[in-house]
Amino acid sequence: MNEERVRISSGDHVAEVALVRASKHNALDGEMFESITEAARRLSSEPGIRAVVIHGEGPSFCSGIDVGWLAGAQTNGFAERAHDRDGFGANIFQRVATAWIEVPVPVIAAIHGNCFGGGLQIALGADIRISSPDAKLSVREVHWGLVPDMGISATLPRLVPLDAAKELTFTGRIVSGEEADRCGLVTRVADDPLSSARELAREIAGRSPDAVRAAKKLFESTWPTSGSAGLELETELQIPLLGSPNQMAAVMAGVGNEPAEFTDPAGG
């Protein structure tokens, strides 16, 4: 992982992933693609991590694809790697978004400044998005004569109706954080989204990591579908939790109105 593109820090069971190409508004080039994906892969198995916050340093979260780099990618062989897919079915461009879905703990994106194209699709890969009211968000690809192809088909349909998704995609228009909140692109707005994301991550980290991981797995496996498969998975995930050390710790903490001491799952 190139620390001139992405930097990871952690403490108190919370990991932070910072996009650090600030001079380019954290635009996505080859090294950024690889570093973001490597960060997600690393945190998927990092021991003791219970929540992740991803944010951009400088004036923006991520302004999308580096168009100058993209032109060169057609000749340097990087674009050809779009045909190489992982077990999730994602190629190297899509993994910057889908890799966060696969992280077993909650991922919170703190959005400010520009969040365009691939940057928006990275944010959509997070479980929760907190945006500044004046952030600028856009499904920007049509502006460059392209379709959004970084995992949006796995994320946007969960958040907005089909006609809204089409309108945003067909026009590439820029919406504010406030409008994004109203239409469902983001979870909520905050004047200081990074501080709010950190506060939420700390709250989640204080819950049973077994229960939180199981809840994420449940929703990722069933949402927005319903029926017998979802009901069966609820039971399958619940049975190992009942009477487990972390579940008992949660009960005792609730009864005693004191913080719980949880044991993190083996292997992260």
152-202 pLDDT per residue, tens? 988 999 999 999 999 999 999 999 999 999 999 999 999 999 999 999 999
pLDDT value for 226: 59
- 3-class DSSP assignment, residue 244: coil
CB 137, CB 174: distance < 8 Å: yes
Greater confidence (44 vs 77) lies with 44
Q: What whole-number distance in Å separates Cα of residue 232 and Cα of residue 218?
A: 10
Q: What whole-number distance in Å separates Cα of residue 24 and Cα of residue 27?
A: 6
Here the tokens at position 142 are 């049509």
Complete edge-to-edge strand list for the sheet that includes strand 107-111: 6-11, 14-19, 51-56, 107-111, 128-131, 188-189
Which amino acid is located at 9 in the chain?
Answer: S
Q: Per-residue pLDDT averaged across 68-95, rounded?
A: 72
Q: What is the pLDDT of residues 103-133, one digit of tens each?
A: 999 999 999 999 999 999 999 999 999 999 9
Beta strands in 92-209 (DSSP E): 107-111, 114-116, 128-131, 136-138, 175-176, 188-189
Lowest model confidence (mean pLDDT) among 63-77, 194-208, 240-254? 63-77
Alpha carbon of 123 to those of 97, 99, 241, 264: distances in Å?
A: 7, 11, 30, 26
Complete edge-to-edge strand list for the sheet that includes strand 114-116: 114-116, 136-138, 175-176
Is pLDDT above 70 for 76?
no
Compute the chain's Rg from CA coordinates.
Answer: 19
